[in-house]
Chains A and B, each alone.
Chain A
Amino acid sequence: MGETFKPSRRAFLRGSAAMAAGSVAGAAAANGPDPLITELQDWASYTGAGVDETPYGMPISYESHVVRRNVEWLTASPISSINFTPIHALDGTITPQGCAFERHHSGAIELRKEDYRLMINGLVDTPLVFTYEDIERFPRENHVYFCECAANTGMEWAGAQLNGVQFTHGMIHNMEYTGVPLRTLLNEAGADISPDKWVYVEGADASSNGRSIPMEKALDDVLVAFKANGEALRMEHGYPVRLVVPGWEGNMWVKWLRRIEITDRAVESREETSKYTDVYEDGTARKWTWVMDAKSVITSPSPQMPIKHGKGPLVISGLAWSGHGQITRVDVSKDGGITWETARLGKQGDTKALTRFYLDTAWDGAPMLLQARAMDDTGYVQPTKDQLREQRGENAVYHNNCIQTWYVNAEGIAENVEVS
């Protein structure tokens, strides 16, 4: 293996000097020629890294701040915890696996393909055991889907809490999955697929994270996936096999999938009773709140992405998604919801996948209250925080799909705020 390319100390010092000179040059650029252009640069003269140095590439060191981050005080232990996708720094729609958020209940396990077994039992003609190789022999499909933790934006119910879109909205990722439709495996075992039956799924890790899926959904679009974005799933996303439950809360996307059981009722596991249920204002709780409703957020400008360029052309960019189907429209407001402009969708949204939107605008240097509001193909309009609270109170924890507000001041700094 070749060594990782690292700048030498001399190169590093030169780099610093160049940066200092660069900032001067930046200010002087209008007045004189730019030395980055007029002077021969090291990278234009010396040779770079060879093809044998990086068998599997990581982002260049200058992007090393674009990483998943956790908030330590949120949970008792990082082994049963969550981290956040750096959505502020990404564009397009596909989330690279290496920075896609992680949520584990007993840590990410290392499970070899050779040791992988998937059992189907319960109300089936023949209980079956599959190896990993078996799974790859069934006809497979490719689909792009978002996976959002039910608790995404959950800290914000009681007010603006965390200053950064990575932390308010980063429990989401969007990948192209390759997998076998769950219905194919159910058919193989001769499962009872009558509509009042349930499909209970669990993982091979210590938490097992069992969840019950109603038969209608199981037969619809659920995938038993083994690839994401073209390559094997990462350990932290359930290598070698995970469940993909499009549009539904991430907790149901069981990782390290080891067992599928057909049952005549919901199991009412820990993850579908004591957790992932939504307590409303009067103390009653909603269960089986599976679907992730339409939601959007501006990723730039945002607290981690201040406007640094001053007045003039500004790209306002963000993400929208809906667990019910396609995003059909996103509106953007610069004045806290008084006036709305319809944004441009990067491309027609895939069903139950992230859609990128842009508002190509000009900034006059005045403060803004930036908001985005998504609509999906059911006609549903993303609600305000007040609308949600009026319905549910402040203790629901999960399924907060409210309109987010960033206050952008005259210097271009953005802050997480709430508005009247």
Chain B
Amino acid sequence: MSKSPNYLLPTLGGIGIMLGLAYGVNTRSYKAEEAELAMAQAEAAQERAEQQLAANTELQAQIEAVQSEATARIAELEARPVSMSLTAPAPAVDAKFGLGREAHAEEIAAWDVDVLPDGRGLPEGAGDVYTGEEVFYNKCASCHGDFAEGVDNWPVLAGGFDTLADEDPVKTVGSYWPYLSTVWDYVNRSMPFGEAGTLTADETYAIVAYILYSNDLVDDEFELSNENFTEVEMYNAEGFVIDDRPELEYSAWRAEPCMENCKDEVEVTMRSVFLVETPPEGGSESVMNHATVEGLPSFTADGPSFIPEAAAKPVEEASAETVVEDVAAVDNGSELIEAGEKVFKKCKACHEVGDGAKNKSGPHLNDIVGRSIGSADGFNYSKVFKTALDEGRVWDEASLAEFLAQPKAVMKGTKMAFSGLKKDEDLEAITAYLKTFGG
């Protein structure tokens, strides 16, 4: 090989870079400039190459090929409309990509369960108020209360009539929901919380019938079915209007705003109700703010009326110091415990474990193995648990597993809505997991 080809390489590389630039730019002005530059550079390169390598026809041909490519690309760029950019949305095509496969009827039936206000989508079935009361007591009351009145912060389903214009409206199925289809659809697909999708159509009809009864919408003899579904009239069916912000607000609020002397005087009328502490371990603590608006300056265009004296020391932000705790490695059947943690997902809608665990709609489960049945402080147990406590019964691994396998059969009348763990390995795992929280 002669020395010449090596000498040429940087030049070819230079052309390549210029081509890259010419091809990659986004706007026409930039593009045209770069294109001209690329052309000039390519021409110069060719001129030099011609002088230096006149004898080397093979390399000459390479250069010509590169230049011809450059010319073609530049022509292509020039041909684009002025507004055209190399940035483009995903192409809109009428043709199909041929991706995906046709859905089977069984698949559509399994997933397409939504129910429309006119009753389309309802399966055949029926349920009456009496049945509904029982199903509701077993599956819903632990959160929503025996009479759909709501426990703790869980939704109230009944009552609240004529409160929508009050200071604190009570928005229930009766007072607020405009369509019965929404109730059926939601109960059917998303309830009970933590066991969604397990209700039969008849159970759902029955629960919905009971909710209607709780709201005085039907009498206690009522049976709801796909036949009479659309005959039920909801109180707030006419209570909704479609978004009217464009007419009521946008027309008025699309205007040049005031910049100076917009008000004469400004006073603080209210201070934050809660101070919110942000502990390093996470979460937040809301603390009542007892400070009042008295003692705060008012403002005019000249600034604050006075400068209050320092009241309290600034609250220090979380310190940069990080206390490192040594966490002893836990290795006692950790796989089983991990499996148990997964199983516990079925429980945690209602039960807490670990540091600071509190009673929710179910009692906390710290120290559950070895704990007296029905003994979590402050939890309102159903009768069967109170009786067990009086009898001095204590949870051990066996009794816990027996209960968790068939809660309603083992503790008749329990408010726990959970239907039970069917697999022995799940029972073993959950027990191992719960034991890591004492007991």
Q: Cβ of A366 and Cβ of B304 under 8 Å apart?
A: yes
Contact with B along A157-170 (1 / 0, CB 8 A): 00111111011000
CB contacts (< 8 Å) of A259 on chain B: these are: 111-112
CB contacts (< 8 Å) of B107 on chain A: these are: 119, 129
> Which of B101, B272, B323 interacts with A416 by CB under 8 Å?
B272
CB contacts (< 8 Å) of A140 on chain B: these are: 90
Q: Given the known A-B contacts A167-B284, A270-B182, are A160 and B97 also in contact in the complex, defined by CB atoms under 8 Å? A: no
Q: Cβ of B182 and Cβ of A273 under 8 Å apart?
A: yes
Q: Cβ of B308 and Cβ of A409 under 8 Å apart?
A: yes
Q: Cβ of A367 and Cβ of B297 under 8 Å apart?
A: yes
CB contacts (< 8 Å) of B224 on chain A: these are: none
Contact with A along B48-69 (1 / 0, CB 8 A): 0000000000000000000000
Q: Cβ of A268 and Cβ of B178 under 8 Å apart?
A: yes
Task: Indicate if A352 sits at the interface (CB-CB under 8 A).
Answer: no
Q: How far is the CB of A4 from the nearest CB of chain B, in Å?
A: 10
Q: Cβ of B261 and Cβ of A339 under 8 Å apart?
A: yes
Give the number of residues in B that approach A within 8 Å (Cβ atoms).
Answer: 114
CB contacts (< 8 Å) of A331 on chain B: these are: 257, 259
Contact with B along A328-342 (1 / 0, CB 8 A): 000100011111100
Q: Given the known A-B contacts A71-B286, A416-B272, are A283 and B164 also in contact in the complex, defined by CB atoms under 8 Å? A: yes
Task: Indicate if A141 sits at the interface (CB-CB under 8 A).
Answer: yes
Q: How far is the CA of A412 from the CA of B317 in the complex (A)?
A: 13
Task: Indicate if B239 sits at the interface (CB-CB under 8 A).
Answer: yes
Task: Indicate if A369 sits at the interface (CB-CB under 8 A).
Answer: yes
Task: Indicate if A281 sits at the interface (CB-CB under 8 A).
Answer: yes
Query: Which 10 A-B residue pairings sit nearest by Cβ, starting from the closest?
Result: A336-B266, A283-B165, A283-B164, A76-B153, A139-B90, A206-B196, A379-B254, A416-B272, A128-B100, A127-B103
Further pairs besides A188-B99, A208-B196, A331-B257: 7, Cβ < 8 Å: A65-B317, A130-B100, A184-B92, A387-B253, A413-B315, A417-B270, A418-B268
CB contacts (< 8 Å) of B276 on chain A: these are: 71, 162-164, 167, 303
Q: How far is the CB of B352 from the nearest CB of chain A, in Å?
A: 9
Q: Cβ of B289 and Cβ of A163 under 8 Å apart?
A: yes
**Shortest Cβ distance from B143 into A: residue:** A76
Task: Indicate if B96 sits at the interface (CB-CB under 8 A).
Answer: yes
Task: Indicate if A41 sits at the interface (CB-CB under 8 A).
Answer: no
**Shortest Cβ distance from B197 into A: residue:** A206
A-B contact pairs, 10 of them (CB 8 A): A7-B322, A77-B360, A121-B108, A190-B96, A210-B185, A286-B245, A288-B242, A340-B259, A407-B268, A412-B314
Contact with A along B316-351 (1 / 0, CB 8 A): 011011111000000000000000000001001100
Q: Cβ of A15 and Cβ of B321 under 8 Å apart?
A: yes
CB contacts (< 8 Å) of B245 on chain A: these are: 286, 289, 291, 293
CB contacts (< 8 Å) of A277 on chain B: these are: 240
Q: How far is the CA of A120 from the CA of B164 in the complex (A)?
A: 38
Interfacial residues of chain B within 69-120, with CB under 8 A of chain A in the complex: 89-94, 96-97, 99-103, 107-108, 111-112, 114, 116-117
Q: Cβ of B93 and Cβ of A273 under 8 Å apart?
A: no
Q: Cβ of A164 and Cβ of B278 under 8 Å apart?
A: yes
Q: Cβ of B272 and Cβ of A161 under 8 Å apart?
A: yes
Q: How far is the CA of A290 from the CA of B243 in the complex (A)?
A: 8
Interface residues of B (CB under 8 A from A): 89-94, 96-97, 99-103, 107-108, 111-112, 114, 116-117, 143, 152-155, 164-165, 167-169, 171, 173, 176-179, 181-182, 185-186, 189-190, 193-194, 196-197, 239-245, 248-250, 253-276, 278, 280, 282-284, 286, 289, 291, 293, 296-297, 299-301, 303-304, 307-308, 310-311, 314-315, 317-318, 320-324, 345, 348-349, 360-361
Q: Given the known A-B contacts A261-B112, A338-B263, A369-B268, are A283 and B169 also in contact in the complex, defined by CB atoms under 8 Å? A: yes
Q: How far is the CB of A119 from the nearest CB of chain B, in Å?
A: 6
Q: Cβ of B190 and Cβ of A367 under 8 Å apart?
A: no
Q: Cβ of B112 and Cβ of A121 under 8 Å apart?
A: yes
CB contacts (< 8 Å) of A274 on chain B: these are: 171, 173, 176-177, 182
Q: How far is the CA of A409 from the CA of B182 in the complex (A)?
A: 50
CB contacts (< 8 Å) of B317 on chain A: these are: 65, 304
Q: Cβ of B244 and Cβ of A286 under 8 Å apart?
A: yes
Give the number of residues in A that approach B within 8 Å (Cβ atoms).
Answer: 127
Q: Cβ of B103 and Cβ of A121 under 8 Å apart?
A: yes
CB contacts (< 8 Å) of A411 on chain B: these are: 310, 314
Q: Cβ of A77 and Cβ of B349 under 8 Å apart?
A: yes
Q: How far is the CA of A71 from the CA of B285 in the complex (A)?
A: 7
Q: How far is the CA of A173 from the CA of B3 in the complex (A)?
A: 60
Q: Cβ of A415 and Cβ of B99 under 8 Å apart?
A: no
CB contacts (< 8 Å) of A232 on chain B: these are: none
Q: How far is the CB of B106 from the nearest CB of chain A, in Å?
A: 12
Q: How far is the CA of A205 from the CA of B114 in the complex (A)?
A: 15
Q: Cβ of B284 and Cβ of A69 under 8 Å apart?
A: yes
Q: How far is the CB of A92 from the nearest CB of chain B, in Å?
A: 21
CB contacts (< 8 Å) of B97 on chain A: these are: 137-138, 188
Q: Cβ of B239 and Cβ of A284 under 8 Å apart?
A: yes
CB contacts (< 8 Å) of A359 on chain B: these are: none
Task: Indicate if A126 sits at the interface (CB-CB under 8 A).
Answer: yes
Contact with B along A368-408 (1 / 0, CB 8 A): 11000101001111010001000100110000000000010
Q: Cβ of B108 and Cβ of A127 under 8 Å apart?
A: yes
CB contacts (< 8 Å) of B99 on chain A: these are: 130, 134, 137-138, 188
Q: Cβ of B303 and Cβ of A67 under 8 Å apart?
A: no
CB contacts (< 8 Å) of A106 on chain B: these are: 190, 193-194, 196
CB contacts (< 8 Å) of A54 on chain B: these are: none
Task: Indicate if A362 sits at the interface (CB-CB under 8 A).
Answer: no
Q: How far is the CA of A357 from the CA of B360 in the complex (A)?
A: 43
Q: Cβ of B284 and Cβ of A381 under 8 Å apart?
A: no
Q: How far is the CB of B108 from the nearest CB of chain A, in Å?
A: 5
> Which of A62, A207, A258, A417 interacts with B272 by CB under 8 Å?
A417
Q: Cβ of B100 and Cβ of A391 under 8 Å apart?
A: no
Q: Cβ of B239 and Cβ of A367 under 8 Å apart?
A: no
Q: How far is the CA of A420 from the CA of B299 in the complex (A)?
A: 10
Task: Indicate if A146 sits at the interface (CB-CB under 8 A).
Answer: no
